[in-house]
Amino acid sequence: MDNSFMEKVIEDELFFPADREISRKLTGWYLEHKRELPWRETEDPYRIWVSEIILQQTRVAQGMDYYLRFIRRFPDMASLASAEEDEVLKYWQGLGYYSRARNLHAAAKMIREQYGGKFPESYDEVLSLKGVGEYTAAAIVSAAWNMPYPVVDGNVFRVLSRLFAEDTPIDSQKGKNKFTRLAGLLMNPAEARLHNQAIMEFGALQCVPKKPDCRQCVFTDKCRAYASGQVEYYPVKQNKTKTRNRYFHYFHIIYKGNTWLHRRLAGDIWTGLYEFPLIETDTPSDFATLQGAETFRRIFADTGELRITVERPKEKHVLSHQVLDITFYRIEIEKPSATLASYLQVTPDELDAYAVPRIIHLYLSGF
Ligand code: SF4
């Protein structure tokens, strides 16, 4: 693939200030097609920050309700900084990637302590917040204060790599540098807010990953990937991420209506959330095999006869690099074992107050 055109663009920084056609077309398209989203109606950095963190791994349609509920409960930095982590996680329940919520909460406390609760106003200070990377920092400072920092997210990588038929892998440092530089060159610094939102929205709605409608695109005559008939070849990645299969077997143990939970520890998915007693295996296991496991024997030692009233067959739960195969067993016991004392005994009324992974929430809701 010939990269010389893009190299030339990047070398010749004078090219773009004189020709802002790409940015003009993007912003023109944006003003006509943009979605009305609540975080676009504000220049409050706190609200923009919350929306950016929610949208890091979440689609807009799903993130909207969460954003509105979150902002209703935590309308400003002070309310978030003074909340308990468990409550913040509860408001995040179902969104996944809970480290985002923990980092958001930790950063709010840091802002309260270091900046007197006022959102920091320089790019470097915003970048130093927990959970904020280069993309998020650029998105916040450009949307809140119109600072000329280009955003480069998955949508922007896709749009630029196609427009310029650029095949430097986007997951390489070289690729990141190149695309960030190009994104900066394309931007009119006086319209950073508008330009950044336009290019991201263009990637989200028009230049979509699969089968974009290139014949109805403002760049039909300019897009090099379209001209070469290789739109879906871009963007190029060097590392295809390996997926790990995990098998979770949850025991929803019932005794006099109560059940048992425990809190997941750091260093794995769902840190800080609550779950039923669990046995994890590397391969699929049936109930008879689980009964032979040491953990099972400890949990159910001297619990009397086990009445399995629900055996919820395997649920597939796909995370970014993992596929979880999850089975639920609802098991009534005659008396609790000594091991269960190390778990948290929870009454049916209390159960709803605990933040649990979405898959457990769905199970408890009877789905
Ligand atoms: S022509 Fe197609 S590939 Fe090129 S920018 Fe437009 S939608 Fe994207």
Per-residue pLDDT at 73 exceeds 50: yes
Give 343's pLDDT tier (boundaries 50, 70, 90): very high
Is pLDDT above 90 for 251?
yes
pLDDT at 275 over 90: yes
Atom of ligand 1 nearest to the CA of 234: 3
- Kindly tell me the sign of the dihedral angle through the C-alpha atoms of 229, 196, 96, 99: positive
Q: Would you place residue 19 in the very low, low, confident or very high pLDDT band (cuts 50, 70, 90)?
A: low
Determine how many CB atoms are found less than 10 A away from the CB of residue 147.
18
How far, CA to CA in Å, does 170 sit from each of 83, 115, 155? Answer: 38, 35, 11
pLDDT at 242: 73
Separation of CA 103 and ligand 1 centre (Å)? 36
Q: Is the CB of 91 under 6 A from ligand 1?
A: no
pLDDT exceeds 60 at position 51: yes
Residue 122 near ligand 1, beta carbon < 6 Å: no
Alpha carbon nearest to ligand 1 atom 2, residue: 214
Q: 216-222 long-range contacts, Cβ below 8 Å, gap at least 24?
A: 218/25, 218/26, 218/28, 218/29, 219/22, 219/25, 219/163, 222/21, 222/22, 222/163
Centroid of ligand 1 to alpha carbon of 162 (angstroms): 7
Return the amino acid letter for 233. Answer: Y
Which of 127-131, 167-171, 223-227 shows the highest mean pLDDT? 127-131
Q: Which atom of ligand 1 is nearest to the CA of 218?
A: 6
Give pLDDT, residue 201: 96
Please tell me the distance between residue 219's alpha carbon and the centre of ligand 1 in angstroms.
6
Q: How confident is the model at residue 241 (pLDDT cuts 50, 70, 90)?
A: low
Atom of ligand 1 minimally distant from the CA of 213: 7
206 within ligand 1 shell (Cβ under 6 A): yes
Q: Is the CB of 225 under 6 A from ligand 1?
A: yes
160 CA to middle of ligand 1, Å?
A: 9
With a cut of 50, say whether residue 136 has pLDDT above it.
yes
Question: Is residue 224 within 6 Å of ligand 1 at its C-beta?
Answer: no
Do residues 249 and 277 make contact, with C-beta atoms less than 8 angstroms apart?
no
pLDDT over 50 (residue 317): yes
Write out the E strands in 185-306.
244-254, 259-263, 274-275, 278-281
Residue 9 Cα to ligand 1 midpoint, Å, equals 19
Does the structure show a pLDDT above 90 at 58?
no
> Residue 218: what are its φ and ψ, rounded to 5°?
-70, -15
| pLDDT tens digits, one per residue of 286-306 | 888 999 888 999 999 989 888
* Predicted pLDDT at 313: 66
DSSP 93: T
29 touches ligand 1 (CB under 6 Å): no
Confidence of residue 314 (pLDDT cuts 50, 70, 90): low
Q: Ligand 1 pocket, 155 CB below 6 A?
A: no
Given a cut of 70, is residue 367 above it in pLDDT?
Answer: no
What is the pLDDT confidence band of residue 15, given thresholds at 50, 70 and 90? Answer: very low
pLDDT recorded at residue 2: 43
Q: Are strands 322-332 and 274-275 parallel, antiparallel or unpaired?
A: unpaired
**Nearest ligand 1 atom, CA 220:** 1
pLDDT for 6 equals 55
For residue 231, which atom of ligand 1 is closest to its CA? Answer: 3
pLDDT tens digits along 110-122:
999 999 999 999 9
Active site residues: 52
pLDDT in tens, 20-41: 889 999 999 999 999 999 999 9
Q: At residue 284, does pLDDT exceed 60?
A: yes
Residue 309 pLDDT: 76
Strand order in the sheet with 244-254: 278-281, 244-254, 322-332, 307-318
Contacts of residue 25, defined as CB under 8 A and 6 or more positions apart, other chains included, come to 218, 219
Q: What is the mean pLDDT of residues 95-110?
A: 93
In the chain the domains, ranked by start, together with CATH numbers, are 4-233 (1.10.340.30), 244-364 (3.90.79.10)
Distance CA(210)–CA(207), nearest Å, equals 9
CA of residue 144 to ligand 1 center, whole Å: 29
Please work out whether the CB of residue 212 comes within 6 Å of at least one atom of ligand 1.
yes
Q: Is 214 close to ligand 1, i.e. is its CB under 6 Å away?
A: yes
Q: What are phi and psi of 323, to 5 degrees?
A: -115, 120
